[in-house]
Amino acid sequence: MAKIIVITGTGRGLGRAMTEGFIQGGHTVLGCTRSDAVVEKLNQQFGPPNDFTALDVADDAQVKNWATRLLAEYGPPDLLINNAGILNELAPLWEIPSEDFSHLIDVNIKGVANVLRHFLPGMIAKKRGIVVNLSSGWGRSTSPQVSSYCASKWAIEGMTRSLAQELPQGMAAIPLNPGIIHTDMLEMCYGEDAASYTAIEDWKANAIPFLLQLGPSDNGMPLTVPA
């Protein structure tokens, strides 16, 4: 059965890959990204009933307006995927500028909370829907030079597992490690070595069916997309 799927960060990387995969499978994607130009291209490429909006998830007012419109037009989503995230330039913790650290926290943690704040009431009213918050291997382990990113993804793990205890039966909140995929973000970390990791098309082929089969029994489980 076709699903309504909300995804943040649909402009590139995993968000773009999931968007393409879900739409190819006959599902409706309601997405956002920060770039007006990218949103225009997405709307031209995929068209109705799919719907893409330019906004910053770190801006609560923008997220509220977006969620209000989508809930009125489409109803609550069957699957809500918080994918939008950023990575600081690699550096020891004490060398990360305060404004860069704060911006990452605003997007990677507060952005997720903003989306949940405005979509969850509609989902809870229907007592259905699956929330997937993208974590990382660095949400369950650590490495040097990525302390801010680790901090944000460890926060996503804790926030999501706590949320799972608050939801009514019939729903689920899941922190999901997507795995190590060759994306622009991975190239920031690994340079040319990033190309040796899973190609994004291969990841998509595994991730889309995995995401679609998630259900209430997975509530609170820290999961990883199968390799």
Structural domains for the chain: 4-224 (3.40.50.720)
Report the mean per-residue pLDDT for the chain. Answer: 95
Q: Which residue has the tokens 């943690």?
A: 109
**49 upstream amide cis, omega within 30 of 0:** yes
Q: Which residues are catalytic?
A: 149
Strand-pairing partners, residue 224, are 177
Sheet of strand 79-82: strand arrangement: 51-54, 28-33, 4-8, 79-82, 129-134, 171-177, 223-224
The tokens for 115 are 């989306």
Which tens digit of pLDDT belongs to each residue from 65-103? 999 999 999 999 999 999 999 999 999 999 999 999 999
pLDDT tens digits, one per residue of 144-187: 999 999 999 999 999 999 999 999 999 999 999 998 886 777 67
pLDDT at 191 over 90: no
